[in-house]
Amino acid sequence: MGIEVFVQQLINGLTLGSIYGLIAIGYTMVFGIIGMVNFAHGDVFMLSAFIALIGFLVLTTILGIGSVALALFIAMLVGMVLTSLWGWSLERLAYRPLRGSFRLAPLISAIGVSIFLSNFVQLAQGARNKPTPPMMQEVIPLFERNGYLVALSYKQLIIMLVTATLLTGFWYVVKKTSLGRAQRACEQDRKMAALVGIDVDRTIALTFVLGAALAAVAGTMYLLYYGVVNFADGFIPGVKAFTAAVLGGIGSLPGAVLGGLIIGLVETMWSAVFPIEYKDVASFCILAIVLTFMPSGILGRPEVEKV
């Protein structure tokens, strides 16, 4: 692979990796705080892409908003609010009643929710791919070599900027605010957190809300990037983001972002060398290898099986 292809795939990989990283945070936060893999998280991502699509179409065609960026931004905010509500209700109805039950119970509940959600969207929106109108086609040419133009598209730039901004804000919340501290306290010692006056149930619910809101951003970015969404799109990107979380070290926030970027890069580099039909194989292989040989991931703590 020439340097030009490499640089182009690097840009593509980081874009894709940003999206995976945003989804992976939701997996890792929930796992960190209640020790559960929220299998329905990928479908929340898919749902938010649909909300963004519908919101975008309503805003541009019915309400006549001319600016694509503005319409997309509003659609994203609507998606964040709706998926947050969804995340909150999900925790209340499907997971909280099962806390303290046997360990697999919430997992089974999550798989049920996941099946429900993708089937609901399939019924409501149909099984075929839903495209957006073409938008933001502009690219910034970087350099040309051997007749190959390396370029950064506006979409990619936006996706990386939005992700970076959001992660900075999110990092600040987790590190510096009392909500973030409460969240980390619950993750480290729930019983003690209650003794210092933290409402543990509320903190767990907020964790779901935060994860869902980030997934909504990821869903909107996905829609922007690929211009198409399908009811089954919760599954593959969901598993990849889960792989990212495991690779980075499940429970670790920087790990989720790092894992996301690595998975994004592996996927694009792999597609540049091997037939593109096999691109998903790479991620799944990584998941299997990591789970077998380094279950605590790159930045994870070895004692993560404590729960």
Partner 1 sequence: MTALLSIRGVEAAYGAIVALKGVDLEVNQGEIVTLIGSNGAGKSTLMMTIFGNPRARRGSIAFDGRDITALPTHEIARLRIAQSPEGRRIFPRMTVYENLQMGAELDGAAHFREDLERMLAIFPRLKERLHQRGGTMSGGEQQMLAIARALMARPRLLLLDEPSLGLAPLIAKQIFAVVADLNRREGMTVFLVEQNAYHALKLAHRGYVMVTGQITMSGTGAELLANPDVKAAYLEGGAH
Q: Which residues bind partner 1 (CB under 8 A)?
A: 178, 181-182, 184-185, 188-189, 191-200
Instruction: Give the shortest CB-180-to-partner 1 separation in angstroms.
Output: 10
Can you tell me the distance from the alpha carbon of 261 to that of 20, in angstroms, rounded to the nearest whole number? 7
Helix and strand numbers, DSSP H then E, in the chain = 11, 4
Residue (187 or 233) nearer to partner 1, CB: 187
How many whole angstroms separate alpha carbon 77 and alpha carbon 154?
20
Cβ 201 to partner 1 shortest distance, Å? 8
The residues near 239 (Cβ < 8 Å, ≥ 6 apart) are: 42, 283, 284, 287
Choice between 63 and 196, CB closer to partner 1 = 196
* In the complex, minimum distance from the CB of residue 224 to partner 1, in angstroms, rounded to a whole number: 36
In the complex, minimum distance from the CB of residue 179 to partner 1, in angstroms, rounded to a whole number:
11
Q: Which of 44/182 has CB closer to partner 1?
A: 182
Give the residue with the Cβ less far from partner 1, 18 or 183. 183
**What span, in angstroms and rounded, lies between the C-alpha atoms of 115 and 279?**
24
**Residue 134 or residue 197: which is nearer to partner 1 going by CB?**
197
For residue 278, the minimal CB distance to partner 1 (Å) is: 39
Which strand (E) or helix (H) includes residue 107?
Answer: helix 104-125
What does the block give as tokens for 40? 């329905």
DSSP state, residue 295: T
Q: How far apart are CA 154 and CA 67, in angstroms?
A: 14
